[in-house]
Structure 1
Amino acid sequence: MDLQQYAQENDTPIFSRQALTKLGYHHRHIQKLLEEGVLERLRPGYYRVLNVGFLLNEDLQEVCIQVKHGVVCMESALAYYGLSTVRSSEVWMAIPNHSRAPRIVYPPVRYCYFAESTHQYGIIRPEGFPVYSKEKTLADILHHRNKIGMQTVKEAFRDYLRLKDCNLNELLRASEVCHVGERMFDLLQMLT
């Protein structure tokens, strides 16, 4: 099997050593692919397939591989959707309460612990890795506005309301799930 073709078809350029072994690539094969320039070692046990043309969100994808039940959230999700000019130096990941957060050296990760019902709501996989929908992300940042900052919250909401695919019904539904329904209503009235 051609690894570059597999990566392109499955929209995943980053593989762990374990995943490559499951695909039939053992130590000698991996070493040969590194020498041929097909693979690049990101760090011990993790590799990126080169020349597949879709590596815009590789840090997010790399973290999602390592955090089994993690979902890209908060500032990282805002940046992914282009709803904020703030670029965090950390990847924000939501994990269920009482989960053990894996220690990741690079890229740095900031964990947010969510209740199970809140954690499961609004997960989409537009590029193969889990990220919260725009509406769920906005409800989350409103709920955690003290961590994010009210200026960032207002900027994100203004940008969202300008979008053609703005869905106020889904935004209100997400705000109920995240227990910020009244605050959401007040903020929307203030901004519109």
Structure 2
Amino acid sequence: MSETQQPQRTLLAQLLMQKPIVRAYELRSEGIDPKTISRAVAAGELIRISRGLYQRPDSDIDTHQALAEAAKKVPRGVVAMVSALAYHELTDQMPRKVWMAVSVKDWSPSASSYPPVRIVEFRDRYMQQGIEHHTISGTRVPIYSIPKTLADVFRNRKLVDRSVAVEALRATLDQRRATPASIAEAAMAGDAWNIMRPYLEALTSNG
């Protein structure tokens, strides 16, 4: 191995300790060339998950790893809708694709690449509401909060069946994952209050 390859492989190992999942452009920006990446894959030091997306071979596999991979794939996206409900354990639905919200002006990835992603375009005012960050497989993943996600699934009734939205609302209240006040506030901010209000009132009624 040449003197230039050795430092790059060492640097690659150091980067993978910090980020178990990385994109090729992140490696290149740190000075690691494509040949070094290819050699690391051939040597089993790096696993190619999909085109331009790599993982450290000994990293722990998180049950939500697809969300981390989707976050790398759609850097300006936010995990949303049914995928956010599933992450928060508020639905039994297991989406085949990772739902990612993007601004209408942002780039959308190829639908054929891994992991499969379902893009939902949000207006800018909806994009910035209720974003939380969770660490999954060493990756900082933006995911919408529970109240924000409830507002989104109620507002987008053509995309998410109403029964899924209502059951998620019921689960949120039963598990005390969010207060009725915070849910109502997010629904008002997300233009979903008129749709959600009768369900929230029925589920919180003492009668």
Counterpart check, 1:122 vs 2:134? no
Determine if contact 1:175/1:184 at 8 Å carries over to the other structure: yes
TM-score (norm 2): 0.82
- Cα offsets for 1:112-171 (capped at 9, x unmatched): 111111111111111211110111001100111232112111211111112244233321
Over the aligned positions, Cα root-mean-square deviation in angstroms equals 2.1
> Is structure 2 residue 181 aligned with structure 1 residue 169?
yes
How much has 1:38 moved relative to structure 2? 2.6
**Tell me, what secondary structure is at the counterpart of 1:21?**
helix
Opposite residue 174 of structure 1, the aligned amino acid is A
1:78 maps to 85
Contact kept? 1:4, 1:52, Cα under 8 Å:
no
Q: Secondary structure at the match of 2:100?
A: strand
Residue in structure 1 matching 2:116, options 108, 116, 140: 108
Alpha-carbon separation, structure 2, partners of 1:177 and 1:82: 23
Which amino acid in the other structure matches residue 92 of structure 2?
Answer: T
> Which position in structure 2 is the counterpart of 1:96?
103
Q: Write the mapping of 1:1-192 to structure 2, written as runs, cut at 5 A.
A: 3=12, 6-7=15-16, 9=18, 12-105=19-112, 106-127=114-135, 128-192=140-204
Q: How far has the Cα of 1:3 moved from its partner? A: 4.9
Range 109-118 or range 23-32, more displaced: 23-32
CA distance, structure 1, for counterparts of residue 71 and residue 41 of structure 2 = 23
Residue-pair matches, total: 190
Q: Distance in 2 between matches of 1:43 and 1:147?
A: 28
Is 2:180–2:200's contact at 8 Å kept on the other side of the alignment? no
Q: Confirm or deny: 8 A CA contact 1:136 1:175 kept in the other structure.
A: yes
Q: Tell me, yes or no, if the aligned pair for 2:12 and 2:32 is still in contact at 8 Å.
A: no
Distance 1:121 1:94 in 2: 12
Q: C-alpha distance in 1, partners of 2:60/2:35?
A: 26
Q: Deviation digits for residues 155-188 of structure 1, max 9, x if unmatched?
A: 1111111224423332122111111123333211
Relative distance call for 1:98 and 1:29 in structure 2 (3 A) is closer
Deviations 1:44-73 (A, max 9, x none): 322111222253322222222222321110
Identity %: 30
Change (3 A) 1:5 1:53: farther
SS in 2 for 1:89: coil
Task: Give the residue type in structure 1 aligned to 2:55.
Answer: R
The 10-residue stretch of structure 1 (163-172 or 56-65) with the greater mean CA deviation from structure 2: 163-172
CA shift for structure 1 position 101: 1.9
